[in-house]
Structure 1
Amino acid sequence: MVVGTGVAQLDQDEVDRIFGALADATRRDIVVRVLRDEQSVSALARRYSMSFAAVQKHVAVLERAALVHKRRQGREQIVSGDVETVRAAARLLDAYEAVWRGRVDRIADLLAQDDDHQQHPPTQDERDPS
């Protein structure tokens, strides 16, 4: 099953990986940092009160979700954010928002119709057309 709108559509497994990865605050913070400016895994690890290995695991989860990419530069692994994956996730959230806005609009229309009926009760002719 493919979900989303626009050019880059995501299959259900991709959606699960992306939002699973973003469910963790540290991983969200890493994504924000590497979207601003690519950083080495070592530099990222210095920012968190956890082991280097734990940060590597977080980066690996983000990489599996295609939210970041790693490349070697000498002895360092450089992490950069994937803007297209973030945009695809944002488009999916926009589509969900459109569904809910449509539902809210329909509820508002129903309430307005009900309010009209209460303010203007049907006449005898409208009640009994015989």
Structure 2
Amino acid sequence: MSTASAAAAEAPSDVVKRFYLQPGLELEQSSRSYFIDPARKVLIQNDAIRQGGEEGCLDPSLPFNDTNFDPAEVAGSLKLEELVSGTEATVVAKFMAEGEEQAVQWRLRQIGETWRISDMISMSKDWALSRFQCE
């Protein structure tokens, strides 16, 4: 089954879960097909900075609410709450990191049969992927 057809059958929470099971996936160019603007635009700007030899403008642990996380602790505590309304969906990822419950909201839009990520927003810190200025 191709990645595109596998993604077509996925629920919004399945799309989000992938980023917790593969830390750093959002920074891989191979994951761009999971994103749409405004998130995709920021990720592409970050890619361009990294290709120029610099570190990039995004923290490598955004899905983990910009924490020092233990992948096993996150995997063991991860809870995904999904709300779908038509072609829009919100998935709140809650997990333990640094001894505290963390929460990150993912916004998705259905394009055809596939759910795409349009933004990632911290529910306790002051950041949203769409607000990063990567220029």
- Shared fold, TM over 0.5: no
Q: Which has the higher helix share?
A: 1
Q: Which has the higher strand share?
A: 2
TM-score (norm 2): 0.21
Larger radius of gyration: 1
Structure having greater relative contact order (Cα 8 Å, sep ≥ 6): 2
